[in-house]
Structure 1
Amino acid sequence: MTGEPTRGLDEGALRALVPRVLASLVRRGEDFDAAEDALQEALLEALRVWPEHPPRDPQAWLVTVATRRLVDARRSEAARHRREEADHAEPRSAGVGGADFGAEGDDTLFLLFCCCHPDLAPASQVALTLRAVGGLSTREIADAFYVPEATMAQRISRAKRMIAGPPARRLDQPGDLAVVLRVLYLVYTTGHTGGRIDLAGEAIRLARQLTLATEEPEARGLLALMLLNHARLPARFDAEGRIVTLDRQNRGLWDAREIAEGVRVLQSALAMQTDERRPDRYQIEAAIAALHDDAASAEETDWPQILAWYDDLVALTDDPVHQDPAAVLGRAVAVGHALGAAAGLRETDRLHQVLGDRHRWHAVRGHLHELGGDLPAAATAYADAARRATDVTERDHLVRQAARARAAAL
């Protein structure tokens, strides 16, 4: 929605209804593009009508008005065909309504599975999810991907055309859930790192719905991971919007209820493990996050246990070339805290051939040098990381880290 909000109308609440109404239309078999256009018209009508005549059921009102727009559009299209004396029937709306989540299923969750259609490329899955489920504008998504708005508009349009063909696969088919989990986590991190609390919260809400729709423990692991990370968000930035590292955060600002919920969810996931079914990525990362959240101070962190979990995480991938950089660098930090800074630095030396000169590799070196008391080397490593960082907030943070280490070395 564009322009100034209508006085007396909660535009935020109206925006929150968008993915649910869109899902309701798509679920009935409406074409994705047509449904989105009809919904935009209904939203404009709501901005005009609701301040004076608010509906009792805003979602039902939007569905009704959007449906009328779709009916009008079909009538207009049929009339055009008649005028042209076409001999073919009105095109069938093939949609993605074939997926079955049950009568009581969450419409937004259904829409999420549509956006994560296996025929779409990962980048398209995330972009379409952010557009349809997260409610972001095409410009906002383009900014998140560092691409021109026109490029992102084409990507989203191609994705919508793709899922307008074969029905989306069912929840219980192999592979789909893993894709949805990955996309959900990317949606969460977009909201978490970008300050869009509503988007991070929506990812958590969908993850909760997912745990009700499947017994897969990894879905619970993802929910636990998001909760345990999200609980620390109030302390992640200072009053001026600058990054505050985990070891320097005010732990009194952490959300204790969210941490407790995350621990409960994680425990329920880990209780499902057997000799044949070991914890996977999200459960392991959640366990690491839980250990950080459980420490009353940075000095009380159980680094040996964290290192053990990182060993399990890195072991999920045998090929060093395809290791997750965050996982192996996180393990190097854990090695430094559990076994000494020199041991951690040796780990980073070993990783350099695989990771190259990534800014996070240099940042970890800076942390480990500082941990070992070599402040000049820490300042140099932080400065090297800052020169390679592409995110402005992160680059500014690394510049401050370098300056702080230099000052402490004097």
Structure 2
Amino acid sequence: MSATDAREAISRAHQAEWARVVAALTRRFGDLDIAEEAAAEAFATAVERWPADGVPPNPGAWLTTTANRKAVDRIRRENKRDDKQKEARMLYDDAPPEPLGAIDDERLRLIFTCCHPALAMQTRVALTLRMVGGLTVPEIAHAFLVRPTAMEQRITRAKAKIKAARIPYRVPSAEDLPARICGVLAVLFLLFNEGYLATSPDTGPVRHDLTAEAIRLTRLVHALMPDDGEVTGLLALMLLTEARRTARISVSGELVPLHEQDRGAWDRSLIDEGHRLVRERLATGVAPGRYQILAAINAVHTFARDVRDTDWSQIVALYDQLVRLDHSPIVALNRAIAVAELDGPEVALAAVDRLEHHLAAYHAYHATRAELLRRLGRSHQSRAAYGKAIELTGNTAETTYLTRRRDQLR
């Protein structure tokens, strides 16, 4: 086997096995730091040995076994805790596996396990995205609109709290699910978003592996909790967004904005399923939550066969509902984009400019300003806003699109 083949195999194994290995070791030893370090050592050993020895028949089992041994070796070297030594010896016992709890899927079980209510919401979401979602710290920081150093500190503090407070790493029961579902949905939503518009220049502009996995896991949650409106709303939102995936990137690798997309290329089966879920929730008469409103907005977009048929008044009304539930400046920014179609770019620009204090480091804020300034004929200011957006974005397709739009201005 070539070194390239081995590296590709290691990369695939890392994506598939990292979270499982870390979770297994954390349950075994009760120490997240030991689990992560042992898993890292196991993957480093794979990098050294697989190119020469070949990829083992079961890479996951090989990595788990190697990581277990690394953890045992480290505990014995440190010689700090007698109870850890006893747990390490359990590796060689024929003890029956622990019960799976209410969730059959291993990755979804890990997400529910990590979303422990003892941690603050943003902290548990960030930690789960790192441990189970496999996102990098910069990718997670971008989702929360904070600096990577601040996010690294947040995750480190979360690990320290788990350790100090002895928060149990326990598979949740069916009764635990409602208390954790809010964090789980946030994790799945942000995982999907990173796939929908990847923030790293080192990946493709769209990561179908992430969007597909987020949809798969959300379908499983929907099967577990079919009467939860927000679960249904998130699934509908993902389906209606994913339906447009093939139309979002041009052959030349440039982002295609919604109003320029070939709607005939949209996946009608996903749209029909998403619309059906939205109608189901509307029929209940229950006040919608955040994900249900976002799904309804996407349903209005995908209902229009031509961009000129879009019901912008309904979209603005839905955003007005959403603003009352979610005071995020990103929601206000997206509302302003809809207002531009209803009331004109000048009204929208005034709303966008009020968000500068919150969104100055967010590329979409500057891209939105650039488009509104362009429509108002303020080319010099528009070019400057495009330049700032290009500087801040990490998505290659978006960079290409913004650069072309800027360079068209005279």
User: Any unmatched runs of 5+ in structure 1?
Assistant: 94-98, 318-322
Structure scoring higher RCO (CA < 8 A, sep ≥ 6) equals 2
2:15 aligns with 15
Q: How does 1:308-323 map to 2 (within 5 A)?
A: 308-316=317-325, 323=327
Q: How does 1:197-276 map to 2 (within 5 A)?
A: 197-214=208-225, 215-271=227-283, 273-274=284-285
Instruction: Tell me, yes or no, if the aligned pair for 2:249 and 2:256 is still in contact at 8 Å.
Output: yes
2:346 aligns with 345
Residue 307 (structure 2) pairs with residue 298 (structure 1): yes
Distance in 1, Cα, partners of 2:320 & 2:57: 56
2:183 aligns with 179
Distance change >3 Å, CA 20–CA 246, structure 1 → 2: same
1:166 aligns with 167
Q: 1:116, CA displacement in angstroms? A: 3.1
User: Any unmatched runs of 5+ in structure 2?
Assistant: 88-97, 199-204
2:57 aligns with 54
Distance change >3 Å, CA 75–CA 289, structure 1 → 2: same
Q: 1:399, CA displacement in angstroms? A: 5.0
Q: Secondary structure at the match of 1:6?
A: helix
Q: 1:332, CA displacement in angstroms? A: 3.5
Q: Please, which of 331, 336, 342 is the counterpart of residue 327 of structure 1? A: 331
Letter in 1 for 2:237: L
Distance change >3 Å, CA 380–CA 329, structure 1 → 2: farther
Letter in 1 for 2:350: D
Distance in 2, Cα, partners of 1:327 & 1:247: 19
Distance in 2, Cα, partners of 1:104 & 1:177: 13
Q: Secondary structure at the match of 2:305?
A: coil
Moved more, 61-70 or 260-269: 61-70
Moved more, 26-35 or 182-191: 26-35
Moved more, 258-267 or 215-224: 258-267
1:96 aligns with none
Moved more, 3-12 or 177-186: 3-12
Q: 1:353, CA displacement in angstroms? A: 4.1
Distance in 1, Cα, partners of 2:168 & 2:66: 26
Instruction: Tell me, yes or no, if the aligned pair for 2:56 and 2:62 is still in contact at 8 Å.
Output: no
Instruction: Tell me, yes or no, if the aligned pair for 1:35 and 1:70 is still in contact at 8 Å.
Output: yes
Distance change >3 Å, CA 173–CA 240, structure 1 → 2: same
Instruction: Tell me, yes or no, if the aligned pair for 1:34 and 1:70 is still in contact at 8 Å.
Output: yes
TM (norm. structure 1) is 0.73
Distance in 1, Cα, partners of 2:130 & 2:252: 29
Letter in 1 for 2:278: L
Distance change >3 Å, CA 355–CA 92, structure 1 → 2: farther
Q: Deviations over 1:33-52 (max 9, x none)?
A: 22333334554566646846
Distance in 2, Cα, partners of 1:365 & 1:148: 25
Instruction: Tell me, yes or no, if the aligned pair for 2:35 and 2:71 is still in contact at 8 Å.
Output: yes
Distance in 1, Cα, partners of 2:139 & 2:292: 31
1:189 aligns with 193
1:320 aligns with none
Letter in 2 for 1:391: T
Instruction: Tell me, yes or no, if the aligned pair for 2:111 and 2:132 is still in contact at 8 Å.
Output: yes
Instruction: Tell me, yes or no, if the aligned pair for 1:128 and 1:156 is still in contact at 8 Å.
Output: yes
Q: 1:221, CA displacement in angstroms? A: 0.9
Distance in 2, Cα, partners of 1:7 & 1:182: 32
Q: Please, which of 385, 393, 397 is the counterpart of residue 391 of structure 1? A: 393
Instruction: Tell me, yes or no, if the aligned pair for 2:233 and 2:292 is still in contact at 8 Å.
Output: yes
2:92 aligns with none
Q: Percent of pairs identical after alignment? A: 40
Instruction: Tell me, yes or no, if the aligned pair for 1:119 and 1:162 is still in contact at 8 Å.
Output: no
- RMSD of equivalent CA atoms: 4.0
Q: Deviations over 1:12-64 (max 9, x none)?
A: 25531332343344455642222333334554566646846513xx5455445
Moved more, 259-268 or 208-217: 259-268
Q: 1:240, CA displacement in angstroms? A: 3.7
Distance in 2, Cα, partners of 1:288 & 1:138: 30
Instruction: Tell me, yes or no, if the aligned pair for 1:113 and 1:180 is still in contact at 8 Å.
Output: yes
